[in-house]
Structure 1
């Protein structure tokens, strides 16, 4: 009787042990598989950058500063020395940007040209002290000089001609002298020069630049302003080279196409 029962007991014990061991092995195997899967998923999620954190850490682009040089006051309105003011007014009108009294001794307007943020500026310090406004704005907004455009009159260019340059000197222009001085002597900023021609006869340059344009000159200059607005668009969207090719072309605006 004992001999019969003992094997049965052994068989039952063996069977129970085998089942239990197999179950534990299966359970352990599944747990290890889940751990590996979770680890891979975690590593994959960790490797991918968070869209929200990336967006939050990306600083907004620096605006372009577009400055027109001139003299404030009704008496100087429409004079040759104020074509920089007039060009900025044309840009503001084209883009729906309001120029209002603001800080930095300037009339300022903030907006966009295309997708590019811009600050339009007309210093109100009188021409010879224009750099006070420009230097303060560049410093406050931390604007790279490659994103600064100065627009002003030039006696050495033929009337109504544009010339876009990426750097250079002041050429004897007092407003530009002031700007360069207040930028610490740095000259690597863009400038759009508008030709007003040289005086004829015995008229001194000082008196000539403060003269108003004739009606015929004003009509011709309006095409130049339109071309200048387009040149600024190209500068901000496609870069300096394309803009300079367009602006420095001798073709009239209405014949380009």
Structure 2
């Protein structure tokens, strides 16, 4: 079984903001595979289903971003899952242009508070993650305002592309093809398409 977690903040005012890229991508995955995310349990909204022949739990922590690890740790403990082999976390990344994604087998928090908390609560940074690009803040701009803002309309198509690519990458990862997924999607998709 795999636990696939999308990070974000609960509540209408945070819907479709850059910081909620993880939530939006989980919704995309749920739609694609017919998984209903309605169960409220372990400080998260959960849905169970099958992807590529694997049982999966899709989760959207409801703890707010900075405490995401509380929900992740509870779910992992309850289902006796190993974060190093059965956890995939999807989250926003301001160092990537909107439209680009980056798949990693492990790594540091890189300044992301949600990931920092997951590392603290699970005791490991060796878990798979997919970073969804939301673009850098403008020079002199406020970081919080940037991540809590929504992508402008002209960037929306790039975010749709990132969600589609993330769903395809997850299918590959669940087939045991993470290296192939990294080779396919850790490139600058947006620049390639614009060229």
Which TM bucket (shorter chain)? over 0.9
Deviation at 1:153, TM superposition (A): 0.5
Question: Is 1:123 the counterpart of 2:55 in the alignment?
Answer: no
Question: Is 1:229 the counterpart of 2:167 in the alignment?
Answer: yes
Q: How high is the TM-score relative to the length of structure 2?
A: 0.94
Between 216-225 and 89-98, report the one with greater CA deviation.
216-225
Larger Rg over CA atoms: 1
Instruction: Identify which of 72, 75, 78 aligns with 1:134.
Output: 72
Q: How high is the TM-score relative to the length of structure 1?
A: 0.72
Task: Please name the residue that 2:113 is paired with.
Answer: 174
1: CA distance, partners of 2:152 / 2:66: 25
SS at match of 2:91: strand
Deviation at 1:211, TM superposition (A): 0.4
- CA deviations on 1:165-211 (whole Å, 9 max, x unpaired) are 00001011111111111102x11100000111111132111111000
User: Taking CA–CA contacts closer than 8 Å with sequence separation of 6 or more, which of the two structures ends up with the larger relative contact order?
Assistant: 2
Structure 1: which 5+ residue stretches go unaligned?
1-62
Between 142-151 and 66-75, report the one with greater CA deviation.
142-151
SS at match of 2:161: helix
Task: Please name the residue that 1:160 is paired with.
Answer: 99
Instruction: Identify which of 81, 90, 115 aligns with 2:28.
Output: 90
2: CA distance, partners of 1:138 / 1:93: 24
Instruction: Identify which of 119, 122, 127 aligns with 1:189.
Output: 127
More strand by share: 2
Show the 5 A alignment for 1:72-83.
Answer: 72-83=10-21
Find runs of 4+ consecutive structure 1 residues off by over 3 angstroms: none
Deviation at 1:157, TM superposition (A): 1.7
- CA deviations on 1:82-101 (whole Å, 9 max, x unpaired) are 00000000000000000013
Structure 2: which 5+ residue stretches go unaligned?
none
Contact 2:40–2:46 at 8 Å: present in 1 too? Answer: yes
Aligned residue pair count? 191
SS at match of 1:130: helix
